[in-house]
Amino acid sequence: MTETANPQPTIVSTLDVQGMVCSKPVIKVRIQLKKMKPGETVEVIASEKNYKDLVRLFGGSMCHHIEEIHEGDRVILLITKSQ
């Protein structure tokens, strides 16, 4: 039996939005996603304080795939653009 490995995401950009407040992180991610093709991934480095809004907006209402990696007081979000 052969196991299939999950394909690694194609990360096309990294955005550091730690310490940004209000709508700045959302705007930066939205602009980057508009430049990307479906299936491409943006790596977003966020703080514990601001990552939940990004997950709710881009994972929920916009249906992009999001993987969360928690590292201390920061969270790395891998947001893969949907079709």
In the chain, what's the furthest Cα-to-Cα distance? Answer: 50
Q: How many structural domains does the chain have?
A: 1
- Give the C-alpha separation, 3 to 79, whole Å: 25
Q: In what order do the strands lie in the sheet with 10-16?
A: 10-16, 40-47, 74-80, 65-71
Convert the pLDDT of each residue in 6-52 to its tens digit. Answer: 567 789 999 999 988 878 998 999 999 999 999 999 999 999 888 88
Residue 83 structure tokens = 């079709």
Owning domain of residue 73? 10-80
Convert the pLDDT of each residue in 51-61 to its tens digit. Answer: 888 888 887 76
Query: Does 36 reside within a domain?
Result: yes
Residue 24 structure tokens = 């700045």
Tell me the whole-structure pTM to 2 decimals: 0.83
- CATH number for the domain spanning 59: value is 3.30.110.40
